[in-house]
Amino acid sequence: MGTGPRRQVSIYTDFLYARPSFLEGCARVFDFANSLSVYNTSIDPEASDKRALWADWHAIGDDLRAAMGELPATSRER
């Protein structure tokens, strides 16, 4: 692993998963049948795809902005 600052997980990666409460998280330890898993739904597959594509491009934009922010000032002036 690198020695640079740690990046936070993108906000765009988990919109399909419902976030469980603390107690639900504890209950999942004993949920061997996976009956507590709940997913967020979309109106139709096209809406889900559109949202996923939007999230992908926003994540790419965030990565590009972060990478450009790490460039030394002398590299930007060339």
Asked if residue 27 is part of any domain, the answer here is: yes
State both tokens at 62.
């965030």
Asked if residue 35 is part of any domain, the answer here is: yes
Asked if residue 31 is part of any domain, the answer here is: yes
Q: What is the pLDDT of residue 9?
A: 55
How confident is the model over 38-72, as pLDDT tens digits? 776 778 888 888 888 888 898 899 888 888 888 77
* pTM over the 0.85 mark: no
Top-confidence residue, 57 or 21: 57
Domain count along the chain: 1
Residue 28 has pLDDT above 70, yes or no: yes
Asked if residue 71 is part of any domain, the answer here is: yes
Give residue 1's pLDDT band: very low, low, confident or very high (50, 70, 90): very low
Domain around 64: 22-76
Asked if residue 72 is part of any domain, the answer here is: yes
Read out DSSP for 15-73?
TTBPPP-HHHHHHGGG-TT--S--B---SSHHHHHHHHHHHHHHHHHHHHHHHHHHS-H
Asked if residue 8 is part of any domain, the answer here is: no
Angle at 16 between CA 15 and CA 21, to 5 degrees: 80
